[in-house]
Amino acid sequence: FSNSLFRGTFRTKTRLDGRVDVRWHGLRYLRSCNIMNRLLAVANLRSPNVRPLCSLFSTCSATAGLSRGSHLHQQQQHLAALARLRDEHGIWRNPMFAACAAGEVTRDDLRALWLQYWPFCRDFTRYVAGVISQLPSDADRALLAENLWDEAGRGQLDRRHSQLFREFLHRSFHVPQDVLAAAPRSAAAQRLAADFEAATVRTASSSNALAAASFLALGCETIVPRYYSLLLDAHRRLGFAESELEFLTLHVQCDSEHSAVLEQVVCGLQQQLAVSDDDWRRLTHQNMLQCLDAKHRFFTAVFEQQQEARQQPQASSSSVS
């Protein structure tokens, strides 16, 4: 007999007086807490001698269920605390987002941002694939493969997200694809790429799975709908047509689902990798902040670089006059 909670065998022994001993061998805790139906089905001897045993396992089942329920509740409490921390992070006060919220960004500001964001968008599937390669569970790999399938356009190459981004730059900012391919990456874009590669690709191993998944799930995917909404509103204020903004609206809609899947994976990895509660909380917190800090540095640096570029012609004009 085996199920998702206990795995082992029942053994019976008939005494000289006709009574039956039922013993359980190979007790091992796994996942589920709903064992009574299977216990009753297997131990269906319809004898009063069996009922104390079933009562005992009913008590064990309830205790295991409470324990697991308490553990899941603790995980959810921790994720809720991380969400509050994420919502108060300095990234939401960076000058790019502040300018978007205040209606102070220009088309040139947004063009400069997207040109530097392009390498990240192009390589994002590499980061997701890097996390997938580290997951010990084939079920979790399948869940994230669904996210990757979405990024890849669900089999339609012209609908993959990187291609939608290329078309967005071409239609809205008149950036030809050959210019986009040859555009130099700023120091900010290079740093962002290095941070994501280090977290998700270069250190690929099962022992790093929790850190990589936490980095991508809690620090990246969960914030996309919020900051894309800020950028989407900024584009609308500047008069961009809705037909031009598909890339942004798509990510506001779908990345909430992606982040929920990744959070599920992050929770499951604690048991799969036998990570203690303290280490699980520490790693999820640490890697979320690392990703948020990386994104914060990027958006701040791109905006400041654009402001400096805008002031240089003014300085030149002043010196000439």
97-139: pLDDT as tens digits: 999 999 999 999 999 999 999 999 999 999 999 999 999 999 9
Confidence of residue 204 (pLDDT cuts 50, 70, 90): low
Give the separation between CA 211 and CA 177, rounded to whole angstroms: 35
- DSSP SS3 for 25: strand
**Which pTM does this prediction carry?**
0.75
Name the more confident of 61 and 275.
Answer: 275
CB distance 38 to 3 below 8 Å:
yes
Query: Where residue 70 falls among pLDDT bands split at 50, 70, 90?
Result: confident
Q: Are 131 and 207 in contact (CB under 8 A)?
A: no
| Token digits of residue 317 | 């004009």
Phi, psi of 290 (to 5 degrees): -60, -40
Residue recorded with tokens 């917190």: 285
Alpha helices in 135-186 (DSSP H): 138-151, 161-173, 177-182
Residue 63 has pLDDT above 50, yes or no: no
Q: State how far the Cα of 218 lies from the Cα of 228, in Å rounded to an integer.
A: 16
Name the token pair of 267: 């929770």
Helix axis angle, 107-134 to 224-237, nearest 10° = 160
In this predicted model, which residue has the larger pLDDT, 34 or 108? 108
What pLDDT shows up at residue 182?
80
Does residue 23 contact residue 10 with C-beta atoms inside 8 Å?
yes
What's at 309, amino acid-wise?
Answer: A
Q: Are 89 and 291 in contact (CB under 8 A)?
A: no
For 149-172, write each residue's pLDDT tens digit: 999 989 899 999 999 999 999 999
Q: Look at residues 108, 111, 109, 84 and name the one whose alpha carbon lies nearest to residue 96.
A: 109
Per-residue pLDDT, averaged over 49-76, amounts to: 57
